[in-house]
Amino acid sequence: MKEFSALEINGLRKNILQQDEWKCLFSGVTARLTEPSIIALLGLSGQGKSTLLRIIGMLDAADEGTIQYEGRLASEWSPQAWRKKVCYVAQHAVMLEGSVEHNLQTVSLLHRTPFNESLAAELLRDVGLDYLDWNKKASDLSGGEKQRLALVRSLLMKPQILLLDEITASLDLQSKQSVEQLLKLWHSKEGTSMIWVTHDLEQARYTSQRIWFMANHTLLEDRSTKDFFERPDSEIGRQFLQVSKGDEGVSDE
Ligand SMILES: Nc1ncnc2c1ncn2[C@@H]1O[C@H](COP(=O)(O)OP(=O)(O)OP(=O)(O)O)[C@@H](O)[C@H]1O
Ligand SMILES: [Mg+2]
């Protein structure tokens, strides 16, 4: 297991242009990852979860605030070095040109490290893609296959922090559960932290130790998963759980 380094997010603000006017999407977003953990990032659609994740992954810029990793500000890192450690996995996976194998090898080509073919095969098996022909054009895969291939591609890089953006959204139940199990196992084996955006409350409850809940244009709650589901601090948190449970058809325990 790798030595743990803290991620510190301080006072992040993001403004967006809406109908020719600058509006605050979120501000005062402050949080720390002080031990290897799986965080579920929850909130209604449009709160800025993906935007926050992309800022943490250095794929978007904040208007205010700072992020530090390993005690150094993000601005002191090259984006490439940062993204090797803090890796964003998108909801709609982007495949590189060429074959499945080429996509799997990208990371080693990029970082000039040997390609770990047996780990790639093992991970593909774990996410239910053992049947995949490695010579197939990656752009011809289905949405769910692309999502899982993108995840495997990111795991092969062995980042310290994975930023997961609704990565099981287009998966059938069995594949979704395989991915959840793999990521939980990977977390305990490798010590990789995960900030995992999901609208699936059962998934959040099953996989995460902490909840970051976005509402009211900020990160409103940062609590243990158990506490959040038992007693959200805010009225808006309570409403969110009620409405989301209704959506999922999940009844109170
Ligand atoms: N660069 C940008 N310029 C203008 N608007 C933006 C920009 N980035 C994000 N937005 C807007 O900010 C809002 C939040 O977007 P975001 O995708 O981060 O929300 P989300 O919480 O991930 O929602 P969902 O749960 O639906 O995925 C959206 O209305 C989006 O259109
Ligand atoms: Mg989103």
Q: Tens digit of pLDDT for each residue in 85-132?
A: 999 999 999 899 999 999 999 888 887 888 999 999 999 999 999 999
- CB count, 10 Å around CB of 158? 18
Q: Compute, in angstroms, the gap from residue 60 CA to the centroid of ligand 2.
A: 14
Nearest CA to ligand 1 atom 3: 16
- For residues 57-66, one letter each, b for 16 or more C-beta atoms within 10 angstroms of the residue's C-beta and e for the rest, the string is bbbeebeebe
Quick one: average pLDDT of 218-246? 93
pLDDT, tens only, 180-226? 999 999 999 999 999 999 999 999 999 999 999 999 999 999 999 99
Q: Which of 5-9, 21-25, 88-92, 107-111 has the lowest mean pLDDT?
A: 107-111
Percentage helix, strand, coil for the chain under 3-state DSSP, each rounded to 5: 40, 25, 35
**Angle in degrees, CA 222, 93, 1, rounded to 5:** 55
- What residues have their beta carbon closer than 5 A to ion ligand 2? 50
Q: Is the pLDDT of residue 252 over 50?
A: no
Ligand with the closest atom to the CA of 14: 1
pTM over cut 0.85: yes
Please tell me the distance from the alpha carbon of residue 48 to that of residue 23, in angstroms, as a whole number: 12
Burial class (CB in 10 A: 0-12, 13-18, 19+), 14: buried
Q: At what angle do helices 173-190 and 117-126 cross, to 10 degrees?
A: 130
Best probe residue, ligand 1, of 18, 50, 247 (max atoms within 8 Å of C-beta) = 50
* Region of residue 242 (left: phi > 0; alpha: psi -120 to 50; beta: else): alpha
Number of residues that this document lists for the chain: 253
Q: Whose CA is nearest to atom 5 of ligand 1?
A: 16
Two tokens at 112?
A: 């000039």
User: Cα(71) to centroid of ligand 1, in Å?
Assistant: 29
Identify the residues whose C-beta falls under 6 Å from ligand 1. Answer: 16-17, 25, 43, 45-51
What is the mean pLDDT of the segment spanning 70-75? 93
**Amino acid 1: pLDDT:** 54
Measured distance CA(123)–CA(77) in Å, rounded: 30
Q: How confident is the model at residue 237 (pLDDT cuts 50, 70, 90)?
A: very high
Q: Could you tell me the maximum CA-CA distance found in the chain, to the nearest angstrom?
A: 52
Cα 56 from Cα 51, distance rounded (Å): 9
Expressed in angstroms and rounded, the spacing between residue 115 Cα and the centre of ligand 2 is 32
Among candidate residues 183, 204, 170, 231, the one with its CA nearest the CA of residue 49 = 204
End-to-end CA distance of the chain: 36
Q: What mean pLDDT comes out for the span 21-25?
A: 96
Q: Which residue puts its alpha carbon closest to atom 28 of ligand 1?
A: 46
Residue 251 has pLDDT above 60, yes or no: no
